[in-house]
Amino acid sequence: MTSDNDRRRGLLARLRGRPAARSRGRRRLGAAVRLLAALMLAGGAYTAFAPSVQAQDTPMSSAATDGKALFNQSCVSCHGRNAQGVEGRGPSLVGVGSASVEFQVGTGRMPMVRQEAQAPRKPPVFNDDEIRQLGQYIQELGGGPEVPAGEDLHKDGNLAAGGELFRINCSQCHAFGGGGGALSSGKYAPTLKPATDRQIYAAMLSGPQNMPVFGDNQITPEQKADIIAYIQETLNHNQDPGGFNLGRYGPSTEGLAIFLVGIVALVFTTLWIAGKS
Amino acid sequence: MKRRKFEMAAVPGNVARGVDDRFQVATPLRRLLNKVFPDHWSFLLGEIALFSFIVLLLTGVFLTFFFEPAMTEVIYNGSYAPLRGTPMSAAYASSLDITFDVRGGLIMRQMHHWAALLFMAAIVVHMLRVFFTGAFRKPREANWIIGSLLFWVGFLAGFTGYSLPDDGLSGTGLRIASGIMLSIPVIGSWLTSSIFDGEFPGTIIISRFYIAHVLLIPGLLLALIGAHLGLVFKQKHTQWPGPGRTNDNVVGERMFPRYALKQGGFFMVVFGVIALMAGLFQINPIWLFGPYEAWVVSAASQPDWYVMFLDGSTRLMPAWEIYIPIGDGYVIPPLFWPTVVLPGVLVGMSVLYPFIEARRLKDYRHHNLLQRPRDVPARSGLGAMAVTFYLVLALSGANDVIADKFNISLNAMTWGGRIGLLLLPPLAYFVTYRICLGLQQHDREVLAHGVETGIIRRLPDGRFVEVHQPLHREDGELEYVGWVVPKKMNRLGALGPAIRGFFYPIEKPAEAPVSPAPSVDSDTERSEIASGERR
């Protein structure tokens, strides 16, 4: 530890060893120069390492401005000013990306009608242009995942690989047939029947509601194309070689059918061929 | 030389004579063909099960020609594109081949599966008929026990068959079955590893289930069905009480030709209904389930309907683990109670019921006449209780599908099932009991005062009275004999016979009846009345 006497002297002076006697004026000048240099260094470092703050100052694209107007009209009550979220109502949207907007608004889930376990799919409130503007606003606000361009995202998909990935990753909630299934406390995995390629892709990227995020590190874009191909070409194609699929709900509707159709038909037959009283 | 004249009409007689000369079968055969069966629609429910079993044997034999019961890994290269190149067991690959590449294979598979569901459904419906009419009473307790066993053996047949294709859904079921076996205290792990030959799933379970499904269980079923029918022949069929029917006779149709013809026709109808369902409704789409892999468990994984009550009881069971501090400690998992103890109790109760009831009523006589459910309210109430209990469990087995499709919280479904399982059966007992008493009371009222005519008469002093048609001439009450009491005027022949025909009238309706009714021509016409009655 340095002594009390040492601490009163400057750092450079201490490094230099025992000080030579200096005039009071020179000491004052040196202190001023050192202060100036430190201020310039700090300012320079700040300008070099904080470009994002500078970006906020750049004006938003016109689409994003329109999107912001739409946001302030329809979304702000739950997601708050500048999409920072409102405690107990809606989460912050900074960083969720346009993929999330495309899924939530494009499937009509947002804007929500009321707070409940899960937002159901309904006819979208905004048209495609407005959804793109909203997405652009959220994207420019904080970045985040984006759906690649194009409507057909499963051109080169491999059905067999997609089927295997679907059964491993998706069927736990959406069921083998893609018809959806129940989760706890009123939440559910929706049916995949009405979903478009872009919506499935956006859902995998953004993990809406109770769905986990399947980022490009977990499931590569090629594998995503495989999964979408399996869903669209096999599950949503109404290929049921065995006849009416009974909703693809599995043995529960089959059990219902054997009683409502089989047993009822045969009991009527017994009434027909045998005595009744 | 004169050629012998060939007489076509004499051929059957000559053949029959020739057969009887050699085998002396005329006397026993006459006895058999003249055997009388009472005729009532409810006596044909068991036949549905019998006929679906025949369909099961026929379609099952077809499937064995193409099925390969092995778990060796193969790469699928058949005509179903979304699975091409996928590694899978030979059993699953051959099931896919049956479905997509064997001519008629898919409809055979679907017929087999629908027939299995129908077999079990018909067993249950038949069992309910036997229970509610008291047909299980002495001397037929043994046949009741055989029937109960048939349900459980059919249950095993269904489960082993459901597991054979080795698809994702049935593999999940098999995993649960192995968990159930593991939950049995002390012997669980030994039992599981001896059945699976080691840890689940092993490499031999499909071959073992195959031989059980195509040889052992059908053999057992065949033997039990043989004993069941043999006892019906020996002990004769029960009949409803009614004119001319007593505890010591059987009134009905002879086995040949009428009864046999009806049964033959009914077999065709059962076959037709199964074929129709197999052609119209897709069942067990294994190609969507994929090969079984331990890490694939789909939402809405359910067993077939007759196993669903066990799934339901598992879902409703609270997570109560029992820890026994012996040695290093021992845990009885909660799965043990709803899937091992509950079915055990159910088997025991159903098998013992005839003896319990006889003991309770101190009734050890022979009973060949059936009882109407309303005349034994306690038994009918118990039956309703059992049905409700079963229904709550079966619905809970599908509670995730119900929750999803009807927008109900799954948690609410589970709690509803738990509370319903305790509350609804007693409620069903009470309601059934009261309904039975009400129906009894109405029967007695009609016997005492006559049938309501719908005619209101105004008396000179201004009062209105309802006119009843008494069922008897003298004063006094008619005795209730345990059979249908006429409750409508046309059942008395007072309004002319009902229009004949099942779906549409096959004769022109008579002119609108006038009141009081015209006299009816003859008794024969009256006996043709076929509709307008509910029971």
pLDDT digits (tens, 9 = 90+) for A139-188: 998 888 899 988 888 888 999 999 999 999 999 999 999 989 999 888 99
Radius of gyration of chain A (CA): 32
Name the DSSP class of B330. E
Which residues of chain A from 187 to 206 reach within 8 Å of chain B, CB to CB?
Answer: 188-189
pLDDT for B514 equals 56
Same domain, B78 and B221: yes
Please check whether residue B518 touches A, CB under 8 A: no
Residues B421 and B495 in one domain: yes
Interface contact flag, B308 A185, Cβ < 8 Å: no
At B495 the pLDDT is: 61
Nearest to B68 by CA among B218, B206, B219: B206
CA distance B501 to B478: 33
Q: Spell out which residues of chain B touch residue A186, defining contact as CB-CB under 8 Å.
A: 407-412
Q: Rounded to 5 degrees, what are φ and ψ at B453?
A: -95, -15
**Single-letter code of the amino acid located at A7:** R
Q: Is the same domain home to B317 and B389?
A: no
CB-nearest to B288 from A168, A177, A259 is A177
What is the reported pLDDT for B505? Answer: 67
- Determine which of B86, B172, B288 to mutate to test the interface with A (most A C-beta atoms within 10 Å): B288
Q: Domain for residue B12, yes or no?
A: no
A72 lies within 8 A of chain B by CB: no
A172 lies within 8 A of chain B by CB? yes
Output the CA–CA distances (angstroms, integers) from residue A75 to A93, A101, A109, B124, B335, in the order listed: 10, 11, 12, 56, 48
- Asked if the Cβ–Cβ distance from A189 to B299 is below 8 Å, we say yes
Instruction: Give CA–CA dist B470/B243, Å, rounded.
Output: 19
Å between A137 CA and nearest CA of chain B: 34
Residue of A164, A172, A277 lying closest to B533 (CB–CB): A277
Residue A237 is predicted with a pLDDT of: 83
Q: A99 and A147 in contact (C-beta within 8 Å)?
A: yes
pLDDT of residue B45: 95
Regarding whether B431 and B296 lie in a shared domain, the answer is: no
| B195-231 pLDDT, tens digit each | 999 999 899 999 999 999 999 999 999 999 999 999 9
Confidence band (pLDDT; 50, 70, 90) for A22? low
Q: CA-to-CA distance for B277 and A2, rounded, in angstroms?
A: 97
Q: Which residues of B touch A269 (CB under 8 A)?
A: 266, 269, 273
Q: Specify whether B362 is located in the same domain as B388.
A: no
pLDDT at B242: 86
Say if B128 is an interface residue toward chain A (CB within 8 Å).
no
Say yes or no: B359 and B454 in one domain.
no
* B17 domain-assigned: no
On whether residue B26 sits in a domain, the answer given is no
For residues B266 and A267, is the Cβ–Cβ distance under 8 A? no
Residues of A in Cβ contact (< 8 Å) with B78:
none
Task: Check residue B4 and give its pLDDT.
Answer: 76
Residues B196 and B98 in one domain: yes
Enter the tokens of residue B448. Answer: 């005492």
Separation in Å, CA A59 to CA A140, A181, B8: 10, 45, 107
Q: Is B489 on the interface with A (CB under 8 A)?
A: no
Whether residues B95 and B222 share a domain: the answer is: yes
Which pLDDT score, from 0 to 100, does residue B1 have?
Answer: 60
The residue range of the domain holding B496 is: 372-535
Alpha-carbon span A136 to A97, nearest angstrom: 8
Is residue B31 exposed (0-12), middle (13-18) or buried (19+ Cβ within 10 Å)?
A: exposed
The answer to whether A182 touches B404, Cβ cutoff 8 Å, is: yes
Query: For residue B468, what is the enclosing H or E element?
Result: strand B464-469
Please tell me which residue of chain A has the smallest CA distance to B116. Answer: A258
Residues B409 and B362 in one domain: no
Contact flag B403-A182 (C-beta cutoff 8 Å): yes
Nearest to A163 among B83, B304, B401 (CB): B83
Residues B350 and B396 in one domain: no
| pLDDT score, position A135 | 93
Are the Cβ atoms of B285 and A251 closer than 8 angstroms?
A: no
* Shared-domain flag, residues B317 and B420: no
Q: With CB atoms and an 8 Å threshold, state whether A254 touches B117.
A: yes
Residue B514: C-alpha distances to residues A169, B508, B518, B519 (Å)? 74, 17, 7, 11
Q: Please give the distance of CA A116 from its chain centroid, rounded to a whole number.
A: 19
B322 forms bridges with which residues in the sheet? B332
- Concatenating the DSSP letter of every residue in B304-333 gives -TTTHHHHHHHHHS----EEE-STT-EEE-
**End residue of a domain, out of B343, B367, B391:** B367
Helices (H) and strands (E) in chain B, counts: 19, 8
Contact A249, B401 (CB under 8 A): yes
Q: Is residue B16 part of a domain?
A: no
Task: Report pLDDT digits (tens) over A27-42.
Answer: 788 888 888 888 888 8
Do residues B273 and A265 touch, judged by C-beta distance below 8 A? yes
Domain count, chain B: 2
C-alpha distance from residue B329 to each of B184, B322, B323 (Å): 16, 10, 7
> How many whole angstroms separate alpha carbon B309 and alpha carbon B467?
52
CB A90 within 8 A of CB A102: no
Cα(B44)–Cα(B163) distance, integer angstroms: 31
- pLDDT for position B329: 85
Report whether B533 contacts B510 (CB < 8 A).
Answer: no
Domain boundary among B311, B340, B367: B367
Minimal-distance CA residue of chain A relative to B123? A263
B279 touches chain A (CB under 8 A): yes
Of B339, B367, B395, the residue at which a domain comes to its end is B367
ipTM of the assembly? Answer: 0.89
Closest Cβ opposite residue B283 in set A168, A174, A242: A242
Tokens, residue B382:
């118990």
**Nearest one of A83, A249, A50, A218 to B401, comparing CA atoms:** A249
Contact of A123 with A110, CB cutoff 8 Å: no
Tokens at A271, concatenated: 């009434």
B382 and B293 within one domain: no
The C-alpha atoms of residue B298 and residue B321 are separated, in whole angstroms, by 26
Q: Which of residues 236-275 of B touch A (CB under 8 A)?
A: 262, 265-266, 269-270, 273-274
CB < 8 Å to A243, chain B: 110, 279-282
**Interface mutation vs chain B, best among A154, A185, A193, A277, most B CBs within 10 Å:** A277
Q: B411 touching A, CB under 8 A? A: yes
Residues of chain B found within 8 Å of residue A173, distances taken between Cβ atoms: 299
Enumerate residue ranges in chain B where pLDDT < 50.
521-535
Strands B253-254, B330-332: pairing is unpaired
In a domain, B11, yes or no: no
Asked whether the beta carbons of residue B269 and residue A160 sit closer than 8 angstroms, the reply is: no
Q: Identify whether B30 is part of a domain.
A: no
Q: Measured between beta carbons, which residues in chain B are less than 8 angstroms from residue A181?
A: 299-300, 400-401, 404
Checking if the pLDDT of A275 tops 80, the result is: no
Beta-carbon separation of A262 and B121 below 8 A: yes
Which of B298, B387, B415 is most worth mutating to test chain A (most A CB atoms within 10 A of its CB)? B298
Give the residue on B whose Cα is nearest the Cα of A168: B296
Residues A167 and B290: beta-carbon distance below 8 Å: yes
CATH number for position B170: 1.20.810.10
pLDDT given at position B535? 41
Question: Is B258 within a domain?
Answer: yes
Give the model's pLDDT for residue B508: 65
Is B4 within a domain? no
Based on the number of CB atoms within 10 Å of its own CB, is B169 exposed (0-12), middle (13-18) or buried (19 or more)? buried
